[in-house]
Amino acid sequence: ETRNEATPCQTFKKELSQPAVFIPVDRLPEIQEARLKLPILAEEQVVMEAVRENPCTVLCGETGSGKTTQVPQFLYEAGYASGDGIIGITEPRRVAAVSMSQRVAKEMNLSSRVVSYQIRYEGNVSNETKIKFMTDGVLLKEIQKDFLLQKYSVIIIDEAHERSVYTDILIGLLSRIVPLRNKKGHPMKLLVMSATLRIEDFTENRKLFPVPPPVIKVESRQFPVTVHFNKRTPMEDYAGEVFRKTCKIHRMLPPGGILVFLTGQAEVHSVCWRLRKAFPFRPNCTETGKEDQDTSEDRRSFKKTKQKKTVSLPRIDLDNYSALPVDEGDEDRQAGIGDEEEGSDLDLELGDEPGVSEEKSDPSLPLYVLPLYSLLPPEQQAKVFRPPPAGTRLCVVATNVAETSLTIPGIKYVVDCGRVKKRFYDRVTGVSSFKVDWTSQASANQRAGRAGRTEPGHCYRLYSSAVFGDFKEFSEAEITRRPVDDLVLQMKDLNIEKVVNFPFPTPPSSEALVSAENLLLSLGALEEPPPSGRLKDMERARLSCPITSLGRVMASFPVAPRYAKILALGNQQDCLPYVITLVAAMTVREIFQELDRPAGSEEENSRLAQRRARQAQMKRLWAGQGASLQLGDLMVMLGAVGASEFAGCTPKFCEENGLRYKAMIEIRRLRGQLTTTVNAVCPKAGLFLDNKMAPPTESQVRCLRQIVLAGLGDHLARRVQAEDLLDPKWRNGYKTPLLDDPVFIHPSSPLFKILPEFVVYQEVMETSKMYMRGVSAVEQDWIPQLLPQYCHFGKPLETPAPYLCPETGRVKCHRDSTFFRVGWQLPAVEM
Ligand code: ADP
Ligand code: MG
């Protein structure tokens, strides 16, 4: 077995056919010793030759084989950062970008000024930086500034198997940028690093790489992992099951670290707290002790998750340009798993230890419990890499960030809840949310593999083998699961007009692309193609429209295009601070506490009724009177945010008035960020974040209603007319262009009693009925003026061909006209 006797780079570099530069690195002896054990070291020569001889190379290997930490060092030593370019590495997750830059700096004995990172909100890049770790969104943003990425001599796309949307798009873009750089005589290299799964999406895709890139496989040692399935599958309290199983392992099994997989931050804290309570560990050293004992946050989370077992979070669009805000991802990795068996000797069934309660504190068995998730501060994250204090067992409670991005040393046992928190997108409304769902088989195998890095291990799956059999084989690429209007806008901003021809590793459906182009056209973000006689030509032309200057402004806002349009129109009558607040509130969603749930006891019921009454009273107050009432639900949001900010946005204020504290904090952060972006786009706006905003005046409210109409134009609804009322299901109903069935104003809306003839809405949610959310009233006269793209002006509705408006020379296409679909007729309007 010569594999692990890696050739020290110094020796082989002399043997290279072409003499290469060699930049010495002064590593500490213990670092050098650890490096030489990594499987990738044996492949250094192969990797470097492939990179030298090919513009693009694919490298795949097991997690922990040393790809992320070592390959940047190989490139550095070979001189890729000593000319006029530096080495760039992208990660889909912030946590990986930060911790990997720190690790590589440490291994190379260089400062963070030389080996640096850049993530969305922070970074330590300097003019000395040679190796730069960043999130994929950061590099995408840099491409928007300099398409040829001139400051890099090599780009490494790491964790490509995660198939994050930005990683996919970056690979597509770089497949074109690299040949362009070569043609210009300023060559750049691309290295795609991935786990060993499904690399065919990259290598066999001729549209992406006309010449297939060489694939280098790093073999690594994986010890057998015995997989134990549960007989039963807990559906509800799986976090409790995770806790109990971890207690059993700790009590009964030989030494070795435990790695626990859960789905989200709150669960992680809750389980940490229970484990620390069960197996207290009191360090007498001061170094790590203080933070380790600080369990207050864990306790808070425990209380919270105890009440609410399934986690479902609203999506925050803060991260359009950065790593994902919560731990999630597509897990396409296969681990070298040993024999799977049910009911082996070590299989622990619950209740096999009578008389011992796990909740009872047992200080004789100290457990060193550490949380690990994306948003944990880096210094806390770094602890998982250090050996646990003497006499304790390490137990890391993690989200799926520990699945592929980070390798934790010394893990022998894995406890897998089998679930993952995922984004779900609604194809009709484009709305998304986070839900807990089963993971995929590939992902579960990857989790199990974490137990076999240093010696044979065990994986406890808290679900039955039948449930495992029903898991999807792989998770799908994110890009196929969501609407793409924001991506299409970003691409158009990069002057990629024919998005259909873009070399996506996995293309989104053409249906998704067409509806994205149509939405962007109607928002005015794209240029309408010149009129042409044939509908077919028109359709084709509509798929390659260039971006407008409005579109460029919209592309600079990190929110969905409809809301970006609202922001872009917001600089009128001093409305911008209100517009920013509205967009932030609409993006965060669910700002009110859900108080409609049936409660248990009488006492609880009356308490809930009181809180509901208080919430309703506040909603009425925030909705205002007269003109502001017409802004409807959006006025309520504006009033709620205004009031809570005025009161200092305290948990107490939110609790008393039926607001979700977390949502209010998110809105505050997003308002800050949007204010900064607006100031950058429009310096003369000179905005600042005002937490003592006065309510908008009557004319400002009117202006806000028009701005909202212009952005939400495709979400216009009209109250049903007399002829439809023959069918009782249409009573008080509204017609929309997207749906055949009526939609309704929710009884909690201030517009419920008013039933305006025309409204716009944020989204339609189906509960007991199809309800519109975020409803605002609009005046009929405004529609043809603000949304001419949806109107016919005095022509009969039957006209099948696109209609050229003689006044403006613009084409009106009937087929997707709102008014055509719902049969509205508007008076002809002077343009
Ligand atoms: P890969 O990218 O192939 O998954 P890595 O380069 O991330 O592999 O990891 C290689 C080795 O370096 C692993 O054994 C891992 O445990 C170790 N390692 C990574 N980061 C740290 C760190 N911050 N501290 C100590 N060891 C680390
Ligand atoms: Mg890695």
User: Which tens digits make up the pLDDT trace of 417-431?
Assistant: 999 987 666 555 444
Structure confidence at residue 827 as a pLDDT band (50, 70, 90): very low
Query: 407 C-alpha vs ligand 1 centroid, how far in Å?
Result: 6
In this predicted structure, what is the pLDDT of residue 309? Answer: 35
Q: Which residues, listed in sequence order, are joined to residue 717 by a DSSP beta bridge? A: 759
pLDDT band for 197, please (50, 70, 90 cuts). Answer: low
Q: How far apart, in whole angstroms, are the C-alpha atoms of residue 5 and residue 589?
A: 56
Residue nearest to atom 20 of ligand 1 (CA): 103
Q: How far apart are the first and last CA of the chain?
A: 81
Structure tokens at 137: 């969104």
Q: Which atom of ligand 1 is nearest to the CA of 103?
A: 23
Q: For ligand 1, what atom is nearest to the CA of residue 100?
A: 20
For residues 216 and 60, the answer to whether their CB atoms sit within 8 Å is yes
Q: Ligand 1 centre from 423 Cα, in Å?
A: 28
Classify each residue of 182-207 as buried b or exposed e, where b means 16 or more C-beta atoms within 10 Å of its C-beta.
eeeeeebbbbbbbbbbbbebbbebee
How far away, in angstroms, is 284 Cα from ligand 1 center?
Answer: 29
Looking at ligand 1, which residue's alpha carbon is closest to its atom 27? 385
| Cβ-contact 522, 545 below 8 angstroms | no
- 693-748 pLDDT tens trace: 899 999 999 999 999 998 998 888 888 876 666 778 888 999 887 677 788 999 99
Cβ-proximal residues to 710 (8 Å cutoff; 6+ apart), any chain: 565, 566, 569, 786, 787
Testing ligand 1's pocket by substitution, the residue of 31, 41, 69 carrying the most ligand atoms inside 8 A of its CB is 69
> Look-up: residue for tokens 């023959």?
726
Among protein residues, the one with the nearest Cα to ligand 1's atom 10 is: 66
Ligand 1 atom nearest the C-alpha of 193 is 2
Comparing C-alpha atoms, which of 482, 485, 539, 471 is closest to residue 506? 482
Give the Å distance between the CA of 158 and the centre of ligand 2: 7
- What is the share, in percent, of the chain residues with pLDDT greater than 70? 79
Confidence (pLDDT) at 91: 94
pLDDT at 64: 83
Ligand nearest to the CA of 218: 1
* Residue nearest (by alpha carbon) to ligand 1 atom 26: 385
Residue 151 has pLDDT above 90, yes or no: yes
The tokens for 800 are 């099948």
Among 176-180, 264-268, 564-568, the range scoring the smallest mean pLDDT is 264-268
The one-letter amino acid code at 74 reads F
Q: How confident is the model at residue 121 (pLDDT cuts 50, 70, 90)?
A: low
Residue located via tokens 């928007």: 144
Those residues with Cβ within 8 angstroms of residue 72's Cβ, 6 or more apart along the chain or in another chain: 87, 89, 104, 115, 131, 156
Handedness of CA 525, 527, 528, 529 (dihedral sign): negative
The rounded Å distance from CA 103 to ligand 1 centre is: 8
Q: What is the pLDDT of residue 323?
A: 24
Find the 159 Cα to ligand 2 centroid distance in Å. 6
Angle at 501 between CA 495 and CA 502, to 5 degrees: 60
Report which of 219, 155, 145 is spatially closest to residue 190, judged by C-alpha positions. Answer: 155
- The answer to whether 720 touches 714, Cβ cutoff 8 Å, is no
pLDDT beyond 60 at 84: yes
Q: Measured between alpha carbons, how far is 573 from 744 in angstroms, rounded to an integer? A: 32
Range with the poorest average pLDDT among 404-413, 512-521, 591-600, 781-790: 591-600
For the record, the structure tokens of 458 come out as 């065990």
Q: Between 218 and 131, whose confidence is greater?
A: 131
100 alpha carbon – ligand 2 mean position (Å): 8
Single-letter code of the amino acid located at 531 = P
| Of the listed ranges 39-53, 174-188, 250-264, 432-446, the one predicted with least confidence | 432-446
Could you tell which of 407, 453, 455 is best to mutate to test the pocket of ligand 1, judged by most ligand atoms within 8 Å of the CB?
Answer: 407
Question: Which tokens is 683 given?
Answer: 């310096």
Mean pLDDT of 779-802: 63
Q: Which atom of ligand 1 sits closest to the CA of residue 61?
A: 3
State which of 90, 103, 259, 401 you would mutate to test the pocket of ligand 1, scoring each by most atoms of that ligand within 8 A of its C-beta: 103
Q: Which residues contact 657 (CB under 8 A, 6 or more apart)?
A: 614, 615, 618, 640, 643, 644
Distance of CA 112 to the CA centre of its chain: 27
What pLDDT is stored for residue 327 in this prediction?
28
Q: What is the pLDDT of residue 156?
A: 98
Closest CA to 479 of 171, 207, 174, 766: 171
Closest CA to 234 of 245, 225, 250, 248: 245
d(CA 169, CA 639): 39
**Quick one: which ligand is closest to 104's CA?**
1
Query: Residue 235: is its pLDDT beyond 50?
Result: yes
Longest dimension (CA), the chain: 88
- Band (pLDDT 50/70/90 cuts) for residue 795 is very low
- Ligand number nearest CA of 62 is 1
Say which residue the tokens 């007989």 belong to.
231
pLDDT in tens, 252-273: 999 999 999 999 877 898 899 8
pLDDT over threshold 60, residue 10: no
Query: Average pLDDT, stretch 37-57?
Result: 94
Tokens of 147: 């398409």
Is residue 339 predicted with pLDDT exceeding 50?
no
Atom of ligand 1 nearest to the CA of 453: 14
Is 681 a residue whose pLDDT tops 70?
A: yes
- Tell me the C-alpha distance between 398 and 373, whole Å: 6
Q: How far is CA 392 from CA 255, 363, 388, 412, 776, in A?
A: 9, 11, 6, 14, 59
Output the pLDDT for position 800. 36
If one counts every other C-beta atom within 10 angstroms of the C-beta of residue 544, the result is 16
Ligand 1: residue whose CA is nearest its atom 19? 407
CA 638 – CA 622 distance, rounded (Å): 8
Average pLDDT, the chain: 80
pLDDT of residue 585: 95
- Structure tokens belonging to residue 80: 């890729």
Distance CA 550, CA 555 (A): 9
Helix (H, G, I), strand (E, B) or coil at 65: coil
100 C-alpha vs ligand 1 centroid, how far in Å? Answer: 8
**Atom number, ligand 1, closest to the C-alpha of residue 40:** 3
- Segment 219-247 shows an average pLDDT of 89
The residues, any chain, with a CB within 8 Å of residue 19's CB and separated by 6 or more, are none
Total count of residues recorded for the chain? 831
Q: Which ligand number lies closest to the CA of residue 36? A: 1
Q: Is the pLDDT of residue 321 over 60?
A: no
Taking CA atoms only, the protein residue closest to ligand 1 atom 14 is 64
Higher model confidence: residue 329 or residue 533?
533
315/489: higher pLDDT: 489
Cα of 69 vs centre of ligand 1, distance in Å, is: 6
- What is residue 416's predicted lDDT score, i.e. its pLDDT? 96
Nearest ligand by distance to the CA of 63: 1
The structure tokens 């798929």 sit at 543
- Note whether 689 and 675 are within 8 A (CB): yes
Residue 330 alpha carbon to ligand 1 centre in Å: 21
The structure tokens listed for 780 are 């009929």
User: What is the atom index within ligand 1 of the atom nearest the CA of 102?
Assistant: 23
Nearest ligand 1 atom, CA 405: 4
Neighbouring residues of 342: CB distance < 8 A, sequence distance ≥ 6: 228, 229, 231, 465
Pocket of ligand 1 (CB under 6 A): 38, 61, 63-70, 99, 103, 385, 407, 409
Q: How far apart are the CA of 91 and the centre of ligand 2, in A?
A: 9
pLDDT for position 242: 95
| From 9-18, 252-261, 399-408, the region with the lowest mean pLDDT | 9-18
Ligand 1, atom 24, lies closest to the CA of 385
Q: Which residue has the higher pLDDT, 216 or 477?
A: 216
Ligand nearest to C-alpha 103 = 1
pTM of the predicted structure, to 2 decimals: 0.69
Residue whose C-alpha is closest to residue 757's, from 728, 721, 709 = 721
Closest C-alpha residue for ligand 1 atom 18: 407
Q: Quick check: 209 pLDDT over 60?
A: yes
* Rounded Cα–Cα distance for residues 797 and 788 (Å): 15
Say how far apart CA 140 and CA 117 lie, in whole Å: 15
Distance in Å, CA 158 to ligand 1 centroid:
14
pLDDT of residue 533: 67
Q: Measure 149 CA to ligand 2 centroid, in angstroms.
A: 23
Percent residues over pLDDT 90 in the chain: 44
Q: What ligand has the least distance to the C-alpha of 160? A: 2
Q: Is 211 exposed, middle or buried (0-12, 13-18, 19+ CB in 10 A)?
A: exposed
Please give the ipTM for the structure prediction: 0.98
Highest mean pLDDT, choosing among 146-150, 232-236, 681-685: 146-150
Lowest mean pLDDT among 280-289, 313-322, 521-530, 755-764: 313-322
pLDDT score, position 600: 55
| pLDDT score for 201 | 84
Q: How far is the CA of 367 from the centre of ligand 1 (A)?
A: 23
